[in-house]
Amino acid sequence: MRIAVCDDEKILQEQLKVEIEGYFNSLDIMTVCFNSGEALLVDFEKNQYDIVFLDIEMNGLNGLQTAKYLHEKKKDLPIVLVTSHTELAMEGYEVQAFRFLGKPIDRNKLYATIKALETLVYNEDKINIVSDGLQRYISCKSICHIKSENVYLNVVTTNEHYLVRQKLKELIKQLPAKQFLQVHRSYVANLKYVESFDGENIYMEDGMKIPVSKSNKEVFKNQMLQYMKRNSKNV
Non-local CB neighbours of 43 within 8 Å, separated by 6+ positions:
4, 32, 34
Number of C-beta neighbours around residue 189 at 10 A: 25
pLDDT at 234: 44
Helix (H) or strand (E) holding 51: strand 51-55
Return the pLDDT at 124: 67
pLDDT at 178: 87
The CA distances from residue 50 to 4, 30, 80, 95, 194, in Å, are 8, 10, 12, 17, 24
The count of other CB atoms within 10 Å of the CB of residue 146 is 25
Query: How many Cβ atoms sit within 10 Å of the Cβ of residue 101?
Result: 18
Greatest alpha-carbon pair distance for the chain in Å reads 61
Q: What pTM, to 2 d.p., does this model score?
A: 0.57
Q: What is the DSSP string of 162-218?
A: EEE-S-HHHHHTTS-TTTEEEEETTEEEEGGGEEEE-SSEEEETTS-EEE--GGGHH
In angstroms, rounded to a whole number, what is the distance separating the alpha carbons of residues 64 and 67?
5
Give the integer Cα–Cα distance in Å for 218 and 118.
38
Write down the architecture of domain 138-234 according to CATH.
Beta Barrel (2.40)
Successive 10-residue mean pLDDT values, the chain, 235 residues:
92 94 81 96 89 92 93 88 75 78 91 86 79 87 94 93 93 90 97 95 96 95 89 53
CB within 8 Å of 79: residues ≥ 6 apart? 51, 52, 53, 54, 67, 70, 71, 95, 96, 97, 98
Residues 6+ apart with CB under 8 A from 235: none
User: Beta strand pairing status for 51-55 and 2-6?
Assistant: parallel
pLDDT of residue 95: 80
CATH superfamily, domain at 2-122: Response regulator (3.40.50.2300)
Q: What is the reported pLDDT for 235?
A: 40
Which residue, among 121, 122, 104, has the nearest Cα to 16 in the 3D structure? 104
How do the domains of the chain map onto residue ranges? 2-122, 138-234
Cis peptide before 176 (omega within 30 of 0): no
